[in-house]
Amino acid sequence: MIKDLGDAFGFNNTPHDLVMNPPLKGSYVEGGMIRTKKISKKNLNRVPKEDLEGIYFKDPLLFNSINKSTQMITAAGYRIAYTNKKEENKFKELLFNLGRVGEDYTWNELYYYIYWAQKVFGAAWIELIWDQEDEQIIDLSRLDPKVMDYARNGDGIILLDEDQKPVGYTQKLPYGVIAKGQGDEVPEKYGKTLSYGDDTIFLLPKRIALIKMYTAGDGLSFYGCIEPAYSSSTRKLLLEEAGTNSAYQRWRAPLVAYVGDDKHPATTQLSNETLKTMQNMRYNTYSTFPNYVKLDVINTNTTEALNDILKYLRENQASGVGMPMAFATGAGEATNRATLNNQQSLLQFTLNDLAEKNSSSITKYIFKPIAASMGLDSFPVFLTNKISTDEIEDKSERFVNYVNSGILTAEEARPIILQMEGIVIEELPVVKKEDKKEREKSKEKNNPEKRKTPKEKDEESEKNIKR
């Protein structure tokens, strides 16, 4: 299919040119225009973004799983492949000076945010900040996904242009902030159909880099890890709260009294007095009862059904976030070694797939627009290192085998190993012998004690003794 498309558009290098340099509007051959229409209605059954973030902070399993998977990806590191030195210098300067507008942060923090926001909300929203002339991108900023959305009409349908792309995005401002005069002007063609509140501003597509995680339908709807497991998470929290309250109430076995015997009938007065004495036992260490009142306890066992349901719901959560149960809870005792190795391999495949997808998104939606705004003829490519949860000994053994078998030379393997192990080698300045002699001379000049002769030192010591 790609070859046929490449031949139709006249590309020589079909895969690269077609993917990274798609044909511009108007360059389609006759009969090749888009005939279908994307219609994405706002799904009223979606979980509100505030609830997704709320349960992320409340549920330890979700919190740990999302943080650990994000850390595993970002800790593997990344590389930026530059085409030439000019491109490298411009991008290094931009990425090093991030945070000139808004909060201060680094590229590594922004990179971590992309994966975190994807897993919690389904997408990361990055603002491409342009200069005052609106000609060049000078900064990047992370946006709160809870306040961002597509530009929609009154029926909740996403507004698309003639190329079936979103006409823009909206941002809801905090209470008390005046939206008038902020944001971009709505294109005249969509001014009457676009619907948003007085506390919301409109943003053109060139200002937003939307990096999605999982998409559905026509690709406009996106999902994260929490939403599929949201129902199981809320039920689990409710059951845990109910089980905890039940255990608190029944941490001591219920106390029951048998009142009366053959000679002392169980009257209402006697029962009430006994009950009152038993109630005071919460605060009193000692109590007395007549011999015709017998006390006993009712033994209750914790129901196993509750534990089974909680286990089932936790497994649903682990499946939703794509984290093996043993890794999500940190309790791997119940999992045998072979199963744990298989789960570890599947986790690596999942994380590497997501990292590779995001590398392409960062290159296309962030680096490529920046390079174009700078007037560069090319753009750098963002690449992530392979994510591996193997032991260090296993990795070292593999690299030794690669070198011994001739697959890699020692020079080729060295930078890979240094980056993988996080080893930083600093080149220390070499001190020449002449420099050492000059330093010793300067020290002697600055130290008056070293300039004195032995005779002068003896005379000075005698003076000190006489004093």
CA distances from 289 to 253, 255, 257, 270 (A): 20, 14, 10, 11
Instruction: Tell whether the model's pLDDT for residue 460 goes beyond 70.
Output: no
Parallel/antiparallel/unpaired status of strands 123-130 and 208-212: antiparallel
Instruction: Tell whether the model's pLDDT for residue 35 goes beyond 60.
Output: no
* Residue type (1 letter), 266: A
Instruction: Tell whether the model's pLDDT for residue 251 goes beyond 70.
Output: no
- Residues 176-217: pLDDT tens digits? 787 787 888 888 888 888 877 788 899 999 999 999 999 988
CA atoms within 13 A on the CB side of 79: 10
Q: What is the pLDDT of residue 371?
A: 95
Q: DSSP character for 322?
A: T
Q: What is the pLDDT of residue 29?
A: 45
Strand partners, 171: 148, 201
Parallel/antiparallel/unpaired status of strands 208-212 and 214-216: unpaired
Instruction: Tell whether the model's pLDDT for residue 123 goes beyond 90.
Output: yes
- Residues 392-429: pLDDT tens digits? 566 777 778 888 888 888 887 777 777 666 665 554 44
Smallest CA-to-CA distance from 222 within 232, 230, 214 is with 214
Instruction: Tell whether the model's pLDDT for residue 12 goes beyond 80.
Output: no
Q: What is the pLDDT of residue 41?
A: 60
Distance of alpha carbon 353 from alpha carbon 386, whole angstroms: 10
Q: Is residue 362 a contact partner of residue 207, using CB atoms and an 8 Å limit?
A: no
Average pLDDT on 253-266 reads 83
Contacts of 399 by beta carbon, 8 Å cutoff, 6+ apart: 408, 413, 416, 417
Q: What is the pLDDT of residue 427?
A: 45
Q: What is the pLDDT of residue 356?
A: 93
Instruction: Tell whether the model's pLDDT for residue 267 goes beyond 60.
Output: yes
Q: What is the pLDDT of residue 223?
A: 92
Average pLDDT on 441-450 reads 51
Distance of alpha carbon 431 from alpha carbon 401, whole angstroms: 39
* Mean pLDDT for all residues in the chain: 79
Q: What does the DSSP assignment read for 15-58?
A: HHHHHHSPPPTT-SPTT-S-------PPPTTSPPHHHHHHHHHH
Q: What is the pLDDT of residue 32?
A: 53
Q: What is the pLDDT of residue 373?
A: 94
Q: DSSP character for 389?
A: -
Instruction: Tell whether the model's pLDDT for residue 54 goes beyond 80.
Output: yes
Which of residues 70 and 339 earns the better pLDDT score? 70
Which helix (H) or strand (E) segment is 213 a member of? Answer: none
Q: What is the pLDDT of residue 372?
A: 94
Instruction: Tell whether the model's pLDDT for residue 435 goes beyond 50.
Output: no
- Residues 271-302: pLDDT tens digits? 888 888 888 877 777 788 888 888 887 766 65
Q: Is residue 102 a contact partner of residue 141, using CB atoms and an 8 Å limit?
A: yes
Percent of all residues in the chain with a pLDDT value above 70, rounded to a whole number = 74
Q: What is the pLDDT of residue 167?
A: 92
Q: Is residue 140 a contact partner of residue 109, using CB atoms and an 8 Å limit?
A: no
Q: What is the pLDDT of residue 342?
A: 80
Which range among 49-53, 90-94, 335-339 shows the weakest confidence by mean pLDDT? 335-339
Question: Of 10-14, 191-195, 374-378, 425-429, where does the model show the most confidence?
Answer: 374-378
Distance of alpha carbon 339 from alpha carbon 341, whole angstroms: 5
pLDDT band at 31 (very low <50, low <70, confident <90, very high): very low
